[in-house]
Structure 1
Amino acid sequence: MAVTRTVLPRKGIIQPKHGDNYEADLDQNWLTIDNLLQDAQDVQAAIGAAGGGMSPTEIGATPVAPGNFIVPHGLGAVPFGAIICMTSGGAVWFQTNGDGSLKWDDTNLYLVASAAGVTARVLVW
């Protein structure tokens, strides 16, 4: 009697059936699962090393005049990213040197306001 083997798509797992190679198929499945788990742990470690899983810090931004202003972020390191969420009319955006290099550093966020008294919340992580 011939044994038909089914390999599950995108997983590499063999659906074992009693007959030829049953135990070898099970052994191969466990090896595949072990490798997938190790890959997942490697990815998780890389994400952690890159700052993944960090909770954003919310900072208020209320300039007293239109134009450039600075807001300290308090992270103690250069942020991985930031998002400006407006809470009033007007606009707040990041300062740039033409090459986008002046958005933030290890101490401050460098922002521009369209008018005095506009308000925004900046999520920084």
Structure 2
Amino acid sequence: MAGEIELKFRLSDGSDIGPNKYSPATTVGSLKEIILAQWPKDKENGPKTINDVKLINAGKILENNKTLAESSVQVSGLPGGVITMHVVVRPPLSDKNNEKLQGDSPKNNRCSCSIL
């Protein structure tokens, strides 16, 4: 199909998922679902949902509801060119949520200033 965009997803350890070709009409949320499905099983702290994943292209965090075309992902001018997107995974929050619930009051005591 003409106009397809070839992407690979770079993980924090330098390994990649892909490359594969996608239509410009593919949503960022769909790409994140593909990343979840293809996430290497031997890696620790993998994402659980698409909300745990951020895709970064050309310094911009891509929004789930936008397509590749709407996100200004350009087809490379080089034949056989592959666009690399960086994948950032939000760290697991389960332990931190429990700590936050137990120690919520002291964390709310923050300094504030008022100018009169």
TM range (shorter): under 0.3
Q: Which has the higher contact order (CA 8 A, sep 6+)?
A: 2
**Rg (Cα) greater in structure:** 1
